[in-house]
């Protein structure tokens, strides 16, 4: 005999949902992911729980400034302790402000990646009759 408890009956979901307390990844505040919201996520076949509270979600929708996490690290050139507004990735050097400015100035004179350097010759005069 079939197990009819596993199937929805008269619009009632097969799975019962209970409120969950989640933590916002932007502000760190706890928020409730209600049973109704969970049912909505299930109906829409969303795989992940929400990561932002309603206030932060509203700020993002309005285009508000995102909360940047500051990361303490060491400069790859001079070794000075510095703070950067991103999480460094493996294999990419992180520079302090002064080393970054020096690197930027040195790169100004160099051609961009994939471009040939421009010749430094004087323009040739054009003969006009």
Task: Tell me, yes or no, whether 23 and 40 share the same domain.
Answer: yes
Task: Tell me, yes or no, whether 75 and 26 share the same domain.
Answer: no
The residues, any chain, with a CB within 8 Å of residue 74's CB and separated by 6 or more, are 80, 81, 82, 94
- pTM attached to this predicted model: 0.41
Distance of alpha carbon 35 from alpha carbon 19, whole angstroms:
5
Residue 119 resides in a domain: no
Task: Tell me, yes or no, whether 28 and 8 share the same domain.
Answer: yes
Task: Tell me, yes or no, whether 33 and 80 share the same domain.
Answer: no
**pLDDT score for 89:** 81
Question: What's the chain's average pLDDT?
Answer: 79
* 26-58 pLDDT, tens digit each: 899 999 999 999 999 999 999 999 999 999 999
By residue range, what is the domain housing residue 27? Answer: 4-62
Residue 43 resides in a domain: yes
Task: Tell me, yes or no, whether 46 and 79 share the same domain.
Answer: no
Residue 99 resides in a domain: yes
């Amino acid at each position: 005999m079939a197990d009819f408890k596993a199937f929805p009956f008269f619009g009632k979901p097969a799975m019962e949902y209970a409120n969950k307390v989640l933590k916002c990844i932007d502000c760190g505040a706890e928020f409730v992911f209600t049973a109704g919201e969970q049912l909505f996520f299930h109906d829409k076949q969303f795989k992940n729980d929400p990561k932002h509270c309603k206030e932060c979600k509203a700020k993002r929708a309005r285009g508000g400034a995102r909360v940047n996490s500051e990361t303490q690290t060491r400069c790859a050139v001079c070794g000075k302790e510095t703070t950067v507004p991103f999480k460094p990735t493996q294999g990419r050097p992180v520079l302090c402000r002064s080393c970054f400015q020096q690197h930027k100035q040195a790169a100004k004179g160099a051609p961009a990646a994939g471009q040939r350097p421009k010749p430094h010759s004087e323009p040739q005069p054009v003969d006009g009759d």
